[in-house]
Chain A
Amino acid sequence: MIKPKILVVDDERAVAFLLTRSLEAAGCEVTTVDDGLEAYDLALAEPFDVILIDHLLPGLLGQEVVQRWRQAGLKTPVIIVSGVSNEEDIVRSLESGASDYVRKPFSVREIIARVKVQIRDRPQGG
């Protein structure tokens, strides 16, 4: 069975480690990067089933990266993981093209469930 490919973008080592190991334990193949620009290039170069991206990345906000991906035609579902949880930010993130938004503190089980939903519902040919 082909493992779903997930890209985790987070500059906080603890978050990145926990998400990576939890997704691996759930049967996913995970690639991790800690920089928005690198993530931008990587997602356009390699196919991923779902992308999990931190909101506050150094240099480039998660929602800005998502916006650029969408402008470039990338249809991969993106979940923004963020410690900022005000309504305006969530709305802006979703409007930028994100498929979902998870607030910190989070439950690992919930994140995995949300990733699975995105894999199940993802548009074909993205």
Chain B
Amino acid sequence: MADLAVAVLIALGGLVLISAVALFLLKGVSGARRRRIARRRARFVDFVGELIVRGDPGSRGFRRYAADPEFRSVVLEYMRMLQGEDRQRLLTAARDMGLVDRFLKGLKSKDRAQRVGAVEALGEVADPTTVTDLVFMLRDVVPEIRVQAAAALANIGDPHSVKSLLASMEHQDEWNAQRIADALFAFGREAVPEMSRYLQGTGKYRPLIARTLGLIGDIRAEGALVQALSSADVDLRMRAAAALGRAGTPRAVPSLLELLGDTQWEVRAQAASALGRRTDRQAIPWLRRALSDQSWWVRHNAAAALVEVPGGNEALRASLDHPDPYARDAAAAVLLSSGVAGGAVDALRSDDATDRIAAEDLISSLVRAGKAEFFLVAGLNPAYVDALRMRA
């Protein structure tokens, strides 16, 4: 029995020893491999760097390295680092070395990871001659590849691909469509005419495009956005209104004013915000009326918009005496949150008597509208606040 135990112990000890030796060897081999790769990479960094500095067209000599992933990675690293003539020169060299062809070949691979890698690489290379191939990838079965292809096309920035990107959105789920919209945003102004045309069609993602047009903020989209305000699609009306707040001109104001009477509160709320951004005085009476809207959001947005419009603050102050308690509350809340009330507290210490009287009037109205707590927290004497409450 004792012999058996000894034998088992010896066997276990041997096993541990063998494992330790194997681990040690494996670590050594992997370390050596890492060092070899690092040396090779360092050599490529020098080769490619020298090529950029010399501006030497003799890059065909590097063709033999094109198959090496480390070499490709170094070229891409330099691509990311450079712009202008240097980048253009490196792009020409990448074509001569056969790198672009190699990436294009990768697009046709059956292996998903290879296709992803190729699309990503082409996005970094940003070679305008690869647009057609990347447009084709917008139909890939793998959603990630479609999105990467959209980003690559945005990097290249050829406006001819915008139409294809918009068409490809129709077959995407919402998440992917949003990523493609991000790519369209990256195109900036170049994408606006085609996106405006899309908005006038029947595309599934018109609300998303309206939003993106607003983010780009180009007034050339104004006509299409105004037209979208009369769509039967609530989401589209809402997004178009918000976009006009960013990208509209005074010409958009009458349509936005009309939208304050929309049947949907979400649309009315966006219209109110957009009018605040447009800062057009003619919106003041309309926004004052919107303070009595049945929806809290519309009342709040209308009050916030009045703060933005020149002369709107006065209208907001006057609304503290509005017969509708909801309108009074919306006006008071925004006067507090926008800093106007805080400014009035400071103005109490003004040397100018007119400023002091105006500040007292405002504070008195706000206290009567039920906002005394704000001024007590701001440090005003409770007896003084109470006296203001009584003031006519």
Contacts and interface: CB of A to CB of B under 8 A. Distances in A.
Contacts of A110: 84
A52 to B, nearest CB: 14
A108 B80 contact: no
B233 interface: no
Interface string A85-121: 0000000000000000000111111100000000000
A94 to B, nearest CB: 22
Main secondary structure of the interface of A (DSSP, over half): helix
A108 B46 contact: no
B85 interface: yes
Interface size class of B (residues with CB under 8 A): 10 to 19
A15 B84 contact: no
Interface string A11-26: 0011101100110010
Contacts of B159: none
A17 B43 CA distance: 11
Contacts of A22: 53
Contacts of B373: none
Contact of A106 (B46, B48, B82): B82
Contact of B46 (A17, A25, A107): A17
A77 to B, nearest CB: 22
A72 B112 CA distance: 55
B87 to A, nearest CB: 7
Nearest to B75: A14
B81 A105 contact: yes
A106 B52 CA distance: 13
Contacts of B87: 105, 107
Main secondary structure of the interface of B (DSSP, over half): helix
A18 B49 contact: yes
Nearest to B84: A107
Interface residues of A, number: 15
B163 to A, nearest CB: 28
Given A14-B49, A14-B74, A21-B50, A109 B81 contact: no
B78 interface: yes
B62 to A, nearest CB: 15
A117 B78 CA distance: 25
Contacts of A13: 42, 45
Given A21-B50, A108-B52, A14 B86 contact: no
Contacts, number: 47
Contacts of A17: 45-46, 49
Contacts of A105: 80-83, 87
Nearest to B54: A25
B77 to A, nearest CB: 5
Given A14-B78, A105-B80, A21 B85 contact: no
Interface string B22-46: 0000000000000000000010011
B82 to A, nearest CB: 5
A114 B283 CA distance: 50
Contact of B86 (A15, A21, A108): A108
A25 B53 contact: yes
Contacts of B77: 14
Interface of B: 42, 45-46, 48-50, 52-53, 74, 77-78, 80-87
27 contacts: A13-B45, A14-B45, A14-B48, A14-B49, A14-B74, A14-B81, A15-B81, A18-B49, A18-B52, A18-B53, A18-B81, A21-B50, A104-B80, A104-B81, A105-B80, A105-B81, A105-B87, A106-B81, A107-B83, A107-B85, A107-B86, A107-B87, A108-B52, A108-B82, A108-B86, A109-B85, A109-B86
Q: Give the top 4 A-B pairs by smallest Cβ distance, nearest first.
A: A107-B84, A105-B83, A17-B49, A21-B53
